[in-house]
Structure 1
């Protein structure tokens, strides 16, 4: 590990260690949408080469809709079943942090939803409000057991989150609802730097420990 990584960790008061894939994963969208797809045909995901939270040259993922009042392409959301599968309980993961900006349409109310590999569906109880002002901010989606509600399936949190199979980010205002509960949305948002956090560990997630390459962190906002 490079001295620069150790120095950055020391300044932050953290211990740089090599962690599991989920803990070191940061979706930066540098070259593509990194396996994020439209939410079962309800929206579109696109790679945008510049204008992310880092400014010129910083790529991000666009999630948008076709502006229709119903049907395919009308609801805002995206999902991933590649790099975010795993045992969240064993790793102590209790939150996601995501950099998001609203660019067009009314303010979005985003929730994260999780599908276990045995078919249980959970969503965050509280939504996160995204203003349409083009400003990038860092948002936290809390996903401890007390932060989620079971929408369908037979598993409880402690079982379902040992085998998460698919992760969703979607506009779903009002009371927590399942796949059919998201309304139409006319607009689009930008998403960047998707990562998980494990509070209270004093651990600094590092990508490629053998290479000494530290995950890029964008500026955070309260």
Structure 2
């Protein structure tokens, strides 16, 4: 499970980071709101922890901006601001939970696991919707959108993108793609996988600065946000 920590106090951030690593999580730290926003919107995190008082973008605005693009990612606010009004403001900004500093690591872990369990249950009921960065694929309606704009794909292009979105951040070889998407053994004398990757790249990446489909020379292809 990948967790983003947005915390400007380096000591606190490192304590949380170590605590999460000890329990098998993969944490990433951002020390200001702007860096946190960039990481959150360009990488698939299972959960986001954020302080409220942050440089560049405060935690409340960060919650709101993330929510506009990623309405389902769990967000937990960690802050010294503990009045009822502060909590209401945090929830109104889009936070799923709110923990006041100082806190015990055990309680933070309980909160995190509860949010992840709830999110997993939600994903099981919403399993027809695949999301990666600002890309969205609906298995029921067969609609694909990037940053809210609809993209028209052929059935094979759709199936190829579906497989890549089910396996993000992993290099997929041409042989694997041929077997899983086309249900055929790869003929090394043809380049039909490369052709379809290029078709897909033109539709998914061409009009966007942030490229999602990347080639790993000699190995295959990978869907990742850079």
TM-score in terms of structure 2 length: 0.24
State the structure with bigger RCO (CA 8 A, min sep 6), 1 or 2: 1
TM-score in terms of structure 1 length: 0.25
Q: Which has the higher strand share?
A: 1
Q: Which has the higher helix share?
A: 2
